Chains A and B, each alone.
Chain A
Amino acid sequence: MADVDVIAVLQEAIAGGGPLWLQVLLRVAGAFGMALVPLVSVVFLIWESRKVIARMQDRLGPTNAGTPAGPWAIFQTVADAIKILTKELIIPEGADKVVFIIAPVLVVAVAIAMWAVIPLGPPETGLQVVDLEIGAFYVVAIGSLAPFSMIMAGWSSRNKYADVGAFRAVSQIIGYEIPQIMSLLVPVLLAGSMSLQEIVASQDVAYAISVPLVALVYFLAMLAEVGKLPFELAEADSELVAGYFTEYSGMMFGAFYLGEFINAFTGSVVFSLLFLGGWRGPFVDVVPWLGPVYLLVKAFLVFNVMNLFWASMPRLRIDQVLAFNWKALVPMGLVVFLVVALTDKLMWRAGVPEGWARAAGLLLSNVVVGGATALLLVWYKRRLMRRRAARFAPAAVPAKAEA
Chain B
Amino acid sequence: MDLLATVPLSWYLILGAALFCIGVYGVLANRNLIVIMMAIELMLNAVVLNLAAFARFMEPARIQGKAFAIVTYATAAAEAALGLALIISIWRTENTVAVEEIDLLKG
- Asked if A and B touch directly (CB within 8 angstroms), the answer is yes
A residues at B contact (CB < 8 Å): 20-21
Output the nearest chain B residue to A24 by Cβ-Cβ distance: B1
Output the nearest chain A residue to B1 by Cβ-Cβ distance: A20
* Chain B residues in 8 Å Cβ range of A21: 1
CB distance from B74 to the nearest CB of A (A): 15
A276 to B72, CA, bound (A): 37
Q: Which of B1-46 contact A (CB under 8 A)?
A: 1, 3
* Chain A residues in 8 Å Cβ range of B1: 20-21
| Interface size of B as a range | under 10
Output the nearest chain A residue to B3 by Cβ-Cβ distance: A20
B residues at A contact (CB < 8 Å): 1, 3
CB distance from B6 to the nearest CB of A (A): 14
CB distance from B5 to the nearest CB of A (A): 13
| 3 contacts across the A-B interface (CB closer than 8 A) | A20-B1, A20-B3, A21-B1
A20 to B2, CA, bound (A): 10
CB distance from A378 to the nearest CB of B (A): 37
CB distance from A265 to the nearest CB of B (A): 31
Output the nearest chain B residue to A21 by Cβ-Cβ distance: B1
A20 to B4, CA, bound (A): 12
CB distance from A339 to the nearest CB of B (A): 25
CB distance from A279 to the nearest CB of B (A): 32
A20 to B1, CA, bound (A): 8
| A-B CB proximity, top 3 nearest | A20-B1, A20-B3, A21-B1
A20 to B5, CA, bound (A): 14
CB distance from A253 to the nearest CB of B (A): 31
* Chain A residues in 8 Å Cβ range of B3: 20
A21 to B1, CA, bound (A): 9
CB distance from A78 to the nearest CB of B (A): 43
A21 to B3, CA, bound (A): 11
* Chain B residues in 8 Å Cβ range of A20: 1, 3
CB distance from A31 to the nearest CB of B (A): 20
A337 to B67, CA, bound (A): 24
A20 to B3, CA, bound (A): 9
Output the nearest chain B residue to A20 by Cβ-Cβ distance: B1
